[in-house]
Chains A and B, each alone.
Chain A
Amino acid sequence: MSEATAITWSGKSEAMFEIMLGEVPEAMRGVFRGKLSAVIAQKAQGGAATEDHVSAVVTEIVPEPFKSAILKKFKELGDFDIKVIDHIIEKQGKSQDKLMYILHDIQDEVGYLPVEALRAVSNKTGINLSTIYNVATFYKTFKLTRPGSHHVKICCGTACHINDKSGVARQVEARVSASPAVSMEKTLCMGCCDCSPAIEIDGRIYTGEEAKAKIETLA
């Protein structure tokens, strides 16, 4: 097993490195730890290894589908890149009528609305933080806590309610509650009434029994 090159980590770079290694089969992880840490050390050129260094190694060396999976996990790491907020505000504008566009974009980018993001939006737009928080908590589409690695939405529309005679939605709810990696929300009617009971998993809608089967592959 290769010795990992000693590296000084900065920011989230060490956590990112471990995520990258997590994609390598366990039997080979030791070897790859050595190889990859050497590549990162080379990039860092004696200085601290940054998040950008680790991201660059993933982008340059790691093949698909591992690359996309790792990059996705990097995004979910917690905190957010403040540059994302700047870019979004530059695209959308600073007036209050642009606020929901900004919040939608942040949630699309980060997966949810970190409170730090709301603070940053307030600083950069001049809109009162309490106003932003008011909007972020009034509209149910916005999440203020990070969803799980998988996110399930259970439709609470009329058709799904009355067509679910065998209680599939309740079964899915119980199954998901037992899985820490899977978050769940009950939503307003999703408008797919002929698929009732409709359950959305990771952005794709399934009909009841198929959703049950899909859930088993996640948790």
Chain B
Amino acid sequence: MKIQKAEDLVQAKELGNKTLFPGKVRINVGMSTCCIAKGADIVLNALVYGLKSRGIDAEVAKVGCNGLCHIEPVVEIQHPGKAKIIYGNVKEADVTRLLDALASGSVVDDLAFARIDAEDNVLVGEIKYQYSGDAGAYATVKSVQDIDFIKAQQKIILRNAGSINPESINEYIARGGYEALVKAVSKKPDDIIKDVIDAGLRGRGGGGFPAGLKWKACREATGTEKYLICNVSEGEPGIGMHRSFLESDPHSVLEGLIIGGYAIGAQTAYVYIRDNYRLALTRFQKAIDDAKEVGLLGDNILGSGFNMTVKVKEGGGRFVCGEETALIACIEGRIGEPCQRPPFPVQKGLFGKPTCINNVETWANVPLIIAKGSSWYKSIGSEGSKGTKVLSLTGNVARPGMVEVAMGTTLKDVVEVIGGGVAGGKKLKGIQTGGPSGGVLPAKLDITVDYDALKAAGSMLGSGGMVIMDEDTDMVKVAQYFTDFFVQESCGKCVPCREGVCRMRAMLDEIIAGRGTAHDLSLLEEMSEPIISASACALGKTAPVPILSSLKHFRNDYTAYLK
């Protein structure tokens, strides 16, 4: 099957719907890396074997992460015409009961998390599951619409995660996939860029720079050979949502890249995926291969005359390669040493050519902006931060995992409603937002998920990491941990970063060993200045942040160690 014009999507949609709604039971088993770590593959095997030995004909799909990370392994069962039932904490020993319930049309109450009668998909509208008769035995299961954990989220980037087979291009298309691309190639490239600027899309990697302006600068740069880079370096400790997302819905990123390539005039894109993200790498490569096979990549995409190639590049395990110029060096086969800017990558980037680098989540926003329009996009979020943000909620929290909220959502909602509060009923001491470069905020939950609000609070949104720290946390040891991280990850080029951060870590070691003085605290603050001002990249510039923010907000933890 080839997809060369809009009408061809219809056939792909039908094929996708044939597997999503196969006229028999469809079972989704969450199979992203973290699900597998909790034994989802063992559950899957038991299910497949059990179905076979009972002679039950069902469609079993390996899906991605549906965000119910706190109850993995997750299994969804859907009978034709009946609500989807989400089961959580499923173990191998539970499979027999699940299959008994499947055969008799009943429910395993102690494992059932929620019931989905219908889903409101941002692209295709209502997807109905329950439409034949009443809920019957399912009425005892809580509807997903009554669960605050779900209601507080707005899943538009994660619209398909956990519902589709990530390795099926047809299932992606069945739920509105590639319609944005069809629309995009009927528009002028400059108009697409205008849409992205108007939507107010800001870079999701941490910088928060207006993506549309970057696209415009790259389009206007001299030269015909241009590149796109999709940054999935996700090097910040404490986050994994982009891994999860890529394992769950790779086509949503690919579609954004192709639209971007068309708009900017870049014919080659590199998707830089960090090392050890093997499943994400494999699934993304499959997405590229499948798109190529149907003609959505390659020559003359959808008859537009535009050609594009997308290549996957595996990283080498260095945090610094999340920085634009270091990432470019890595793709070029060199060591990841950042370099001075200007010139910026949009003028002179990969192989010396104009290059537009955006974070993976930024690219994933693009199909939504084109499909639904910039006015719709702007209606979500806050004044200065439009759209949604995928967050990685981790640490001492009751319900860790991948979540998506509208910008402007309060940290209170994120931590308490979605996160279920601090684990073990303890008190909240601090939240680290934006990774180690963001510092730790004290427990002020009225701050919102917003670029400017978090900056004003002395932190940053970063790429979406939120690490919850409870009352038992020693903030000096946390600062030591992060400072050590920066020591390990510094590329070593700039003396203030290489030597200065090392000295700061050694001073923290002395303080923790009980040999620190009040003068050491002032010295730490003093040393931060040249490190911040004289380092070439954001790693060095933010390396003192863990110490500075903990000295500011948790000075008592330090004074407790002093002689």
Tell me the A residues contacting B by CB distance below 8 Å.
95-101, 104, 134-135, 138-142, 153, 156-159, 161-163, 165, 187-196, 198, 200, 203-207
**Looking at the complex, which one of B34, B465, B469 makes contact with A162 (CB distance below 8 Å)?**
B469
The answer to whether B277 has its CB under 8 Å from any CB of chain A is yes
Residues of A within 8 A of B498 (CB): none
B34, B319, B335, B351: the one within 8 Å of A138 (CB): B335
Is B317 an interface residue, CB under 8 A from the partner? yes
Residue on B nearest A198 in the bound complex, by CB = B37
- Cβ of A102 to closest chain B Cβ, rounded Å: 9
Measured between alpha carbons, how far is A104 from B313 in the docked complex, in Å?
11
Instruction: Provide the bound-state CA to CA distance between A193 and B401, in Å.
Output: 8
Q: Which of B33, B319, B351, B394 contacts A158 (CB 8 A)?
A: B394
Instruction: Given the known inter-chain contacts A134-B335, A194-B401, please indicate yes or no for A188 contacting B235, CB distance below 8 A.
Output: yes
Q: Decide yes or no whether B72 CB sits under 8 A from chain A.
A: yes
1/0 per residue B78-90: CB within 8 Å of A? 0000000000000
Complex-state Cα separation, A69 to B478, whole angstroms: 43
Closest to B401 in A: A194
- Asked if A139 and B314 sit within 8 Å, CB to CB, the answer is no
Q: A97-B332, A158-B394 are in contact. Are A191 and B316 (CB under 8 A)?
A: no
Minimum Cβ distance to chain B for residue A137 (Å): 9
Question: Complex formed: what's the CA distance from A195 to B240 in Å?
Answer: 11
Interface residues of B in 363-408 (CB under 8 A from A): 392, 394-396, 400-401
Task: Tell whether A138 pairs with B336 under 8 Å between CB atoms, given A188-B317, A188-B319, A194-B401.
Answer: yes
In the complex, which residues of chain A have a beta carbon less than 8 angstroms from the beta carbon of B315?
139, 141
User: How far is A207 from B73 in the complex, measured between Cα atoms in Å?
Assistant: 13
Give Cα A159 to B435, complex, Å: 11
CB within 8 Å of A: which residues of B? 33-34, 36-38, 69-70, 72, 234-240, 242-244, 275-278, 313-319, 330-336, 351, 392, 394-396, 400-401, 432, 436, 465, 467, 469, 472-473, 478, 481-482, 485, 489, 491
B333 near A141: Cβ-Cβ < 8 Å: no
CA distance A167 to B469 in the complex (A): 17
* A192–B333 touching, CB < 8 Å: no
Query: What are 25 A-B contacts defined by CB distance under 8 Å?
Result: A98-B333, A100-B314, A100-B333, A135-B334, A135-B335, A141-B275, A141-B276, A141-B315, A141-B316, A142-B316, A156-B485, A158-B432, A158-B482, A159-B395, A163-B395, A189-B237, A189-B240, A191-B277, A192-B34, A193-B238, A193-B395, A196-B394, A196-B400, A203-B278, A204-B37
Q: Which residues of chain B are within 8 angstroms of A99 by Cβ–Cβ distance?
A: 333
| Contacting pair A191 B234 (CB below 8 A) | yes
Instruction: Give Cα A161 to B314, complex, Å.
Output: 26
Expressed in whole angstroms, the Cα–Cα distance for A32 and B237 within the complex equals 52
Supposing A97-B333, A99-B333, A198-B37 touch, asked if A192 and B316 sit within 8 A by C-beta, the answer is no
| A196→B236 CA distance, assembly (Å) | 15
- CB of A139 within 8 A of CB of B318, answer yes
